[in-house]
Structure 1
Amino acid sequence: MTLKELAKLAGVSVSTVSRVVNKNDVRAASEEVRNKIWDLVHQTGYFPNSTAQDLKLGAAVPVQEKNRSIACLFARTAEGKSDPFFSQIYHAIEHECMKNRYDVIGVYSASDFKNISQRFSVAPPDGMIVLGRYSRTLVQLLKNSCKNVVYTGLNAINDPYDQIICDGYKAAKTAVWHLYMLGHRSIGYIGEKSLEARYRGYYDAMQELRLPIVKEHVVESEQSLNGGYLSGLKILTATRPTAIFCANDITAIGVMKALSEQGIGIPSDISVIGIDNTEMCQYSSPTLTSIHIPKEDLGKFTVKTMIDRIEGGHQVPIKIEIPYTLISRDSCAPLKKG
């Protein structure tokens, strides 16, 4: 498979494929096209022909060794590769593995892993990357299945694994503080609650600001479009909040659809903020204010940390925290007086 053939399959130019695959350039194409290209890379087993490039440059070509292997586990959702947040992290992982001649030998969900963990205990990959918050049951399976484990996500962990995180707890507090600085005092929450750093951040920020946490304004929800939509309808009580913090963007967009259908103006009646800053934030109506999580950096530093551990660079568990950024758009506005 050549770059030209890959471009033909994807229906885009060779330069576009090169920028996506070789440089992981998110500006090279839309998210849909980038996902299509990476799916084709995975399906065809395409690998950049660095040997040919070395020959053109007159460099000595080293003896090829068998690539080491890394498996990816989407612990939080079975739809990880199609999830707008985790898919971007995964593609960055795949690109960094390819660049360093590590093979991604499998992509699994938590439910898959229960079935294949016995196989991995016999023939484990060199490393296992875990994306997203995981259950205690899964911890034991990981211990029995793979020596080298690196976790990435928004929830810090207490297990003895390397972790590359963007702190969801702090990001949630920043979101609440942003709404507070806009004058909002009645702030709701929609998202998961159990063991969720973003809910703890919301709760603690509300306590610190001495704001009331109204039971009806906190809706535990599946963090999906449909979960957000149903929760958006549920939160419209007689004493509805003036602002809503959603645990992720996809939930926030579902919430905004529900509010709009009920004739609620955004942000004139209710301000909405999310976390992730996925590409869809720029195309929602109104555009969504969000906390930007550097997804490509999470993926890249996860692989770098994994390679360093596999190759004996460090022994003790390390924690790397990637900073987040508030991206202000049209879904939030100062509270109207009176």
Structure 2
Amino acid sequence: MSIKEIAKRAQVSPATVSRVLNNPDYKCSSPQVRERIRKAAIELNYVPNEAARRLKTGSSSTEEKTCYINILMTRTDSAHVDPFFDELLRVVETEIHRNNCILSQVWYRAIFSSDKRCRRENIADIIEKMYEQTEGHCDGLIVIGKSNKEALALFRKKYKNVVCVNRNASSGVVDEVVCDGEKIAFMAVEHLIELGHTNIGYIGECHNEARYRGFVEALYDHHLELDPDFVIETNQTEAKGYEAMEKLLAMPDYPTGIYCANDITAVGVLKLLSRRKNIYMPSVIASDDIEQAQFTTPMLTTVHLPKEDMGKFALWLLLDRINNGHKAVTRMELECKLMVRSSCTSAQENGWSDYCI
């Protein structure tokens, strides 16, 4: 299927299609345009040039096998809720095309990130129906985001070749590429402590969440008290970050530093503070380093996760397993980096005064 046909269905230029499919850093005019292109490519069974040649010639050797790859997004039931996973998805899609593989399906199924929902619902039946949708085009599956242990075991039984790429380590059921969530949070909170902050708040998910454990560990390691009033457990979205900051502002006392479990939650926090800048000016730090983190004012201090390497190694592990390159379950952990920007100041300073996004 040619790029011109995808362009016609998505109502964009062939050049735009080529950039979206081959460059994860390409700034598309809107998320909706990128989604239309992705949907059209899947519906038309887009085949990269080299893969198309292999299918046409009927090559069957292991080295030249054209693989059909499916992707499961587990953090949400729709696109564009957490930019980190959108950005990671773009990297994985690009790597699939660069390696002359075919992207067969992209599913959004938040149920698999919730242990409670997985216990309550028939996940085996859901997985079976997903498998049927592939129509036999299912050489491998890449799971992007946190996933229930039992669900991963079922996916592995059905798909055989599964790789999970995530911000937290899973249970060793399938191959995985991760950044350790506890280390990420510890690094962020320790930066606030080094700036002299002793009253530090947390906004994000807590149950079975590595970043919350890292937050708690950093406080205990530096002999600081954890104030339960400063812990706001919430879903990690921009809207929920905004609401969480409203709750903190309603309290008689405030934390001088706030760790948000992901960047998009911090964006919501900053937007609330921008409208009440004469009240309160804390230091705000987060994790992920999404593209938007560089365009807030002040720029968001955060922990950078190497999305490009995460996506590349995820597909490398999957293809190596498909081609019988390794048998044992493999975990690849990548290091992260603190990105010091201007949203954090020392506890002795008044903080920053210009909240604007």
Interval containing the TM-score (normalised by the shorter chain): 0.7 to 0.9
- Asked if the contact 1:20–1:34 (Cα under 8 Å) also holds between the matched residues in 2, the reply is no
Give secondary structure in 1 for the equivalent of 2:223.
Answer: coil
**Is the contact made by 2:82 and 2:264 (CA closer than 8 Å) also made in structure 1?**
no
State the Cα distance separating 1:259 from its structure 2 match.
Answer: 2.3
Cα separation, 1, equivalents of 2:126 and 2:338: 40
Specify the alignment match of 1:323 in structure 2: 335
1:314 aligned to 2:313?
no
- 1:177 to 2:177 alignment: no
Partner of 1:249: 263
Aligned to 1:215: 228
Change (3 A) 1:38 1:304: farther
For residues 70-109 of structure 1, the aligned pairs below 5 Å read 70-80=69-79, 83-108=82-107, 109=109
In structure 2, the residue matched to 1:40 is: 37
Query: Counterpart of 1:235 in 2: which secondary structure?
Result: helix
1:97-136 residue CA offsets vs partner (Å, 9 max, x unmatched): 1222322221221449765422466758221211111124
Quote the residue 1:154 is aligned against: 167
Map of 2:276 onto structure 1: 262
CA distance in 2 between counterparts of 1:167 and 1:48 reads 34
Counterpart contact for 1:124–1:145, Cα < 8 Å: no
1:80 to 1:195, Cα distance in 2 relative to 1, 3 A: farther
For 1:287 and 1:10, the matched residues in 2 are separated by 35
Give 1:113-132 correspondences, 5 Å limit.
Answer: 116-119=126-129, 125-132=138-145
**Amino acid of the residue matched to residue 49 of structure 2?**
N
Match of 2:355 in 1: none
- The TM-score with structure 2 as length reference comes to 0.81
Q: What is aligned with 1:300? A: 312
Q: Give runs of aligned pairs for residues 29-68 of structure 1, distance below 5 A.
A: 29-30=26-27, 32=29, 36-37=33-34, 39-44=36-41, 45=44, 46-50=46-50, 63-64=58-59, 67-68=66-67
Match of 2:21 in 1: 21
Does the 8 Å CA contact 2:50/2:100 hold for their aligned counterparts? no
TM-superposed CA distance for 1:146, in Å, is 2.0
Alignment length, in residue pairs? 325
2:203 equivalent in structure 1: 190
Partners of 1:126 and 1:111 in 2: how far apart? 23
Secondary structure of 1:180's match? helix
Read off the aligned partner of 1:313 and give its amino acid letter.
G
In the alignment, residue 239 of structure 2 is paired with which amino acid? Answer: N
Contact 1:248/1:275 (<8 A) preserved: yes
In 2, the alpha carbon distance for the partners of 1:106 and 1:292 equals 29
Q: Normalization by structure 1: what TM-score?
A: 0.85
**What SS class does the counterpart of residue 198 from structure 1 fall into?**
helix
SS of 2:88's partner is: helix
1:6 shift after superposition: 6.0
Distance in 2, Cα, partners of 1:200 & 1:332: 22
1:259-293 superposed Cα distances (whole Å, 9 cap, x missing partner): 23233577xx2000111111111222322111111
* Residue 232 of structure 2 corresponds to residue 235 of structure 1: no
Tell me: CA distance 1:187–1:264, structure 2 relative to 1, closer, same or farther (3 Å). farther
Q: How many percent of aligned residue pairs carry the same amino acid?
A: 37
Residue 332 of structure 1 is aligned with which of 344, 350, 353?
A: 344
1:215 Cα shift?
0.9
CA distance in 2, matches of 1:297, 1:234: 37
Distance 1:278 1:141 in 2: 32
Find the aligned partners of 1:125 and 1:13 in 2 and give their Cα distance: 28
Task: Give the aligned residue type for 2:298.
Answer: P
| Amino acid aligned to 1:327 | M
The answer to whether the 8 A contact 2:288-2:303 is kept is yes
Query: Which secondary structure state, in structure 1, belongs to the residue aligned with residue 83 of structure 2?
Result: coil
Q: Describe the shift of the 1:111–1:32 C-alpha distance in structure 2 as closer, same or farther (beyond 3 A).
A: farther
Work out the CA distance in 1 between the residues paired with 2:336 and 2:35: 26
The CA distance in 1 between the partners of 2:131 and 2:38, in whole Å, is 28
Alignment check: 8 A CA contact 1:10 1:37 kept: no
State the distance in 1 between where 2:289 and 2:214 align. 18
- Superposition RMSD on alpha carbons, in Å? 2.9
In structure 1, runs of 5+ residues without a counterpart are: 55-60
Counterpart secondary structure, 2:246: helix
1:278 to 286, 290, 294: 290
Structure 2, unaligned stretches of length 5 or more? 113-122, 351-357
Structure 1 CA distance for aligned equivalents of residues 148 and 224 of structure 2? 32
Superposition deviation, residue 137 in structure 1: 4.6
Distance in 2, Cα, partners of 1:39 & 1:253:
26
Shift of 1:249: 0.6
Q: What letter matches 1:244 in structure 2?
A: I
Q: Which amino acid aligns with 2:128?
A: Q
Q: Equivalent residue for 1:57?
A: none
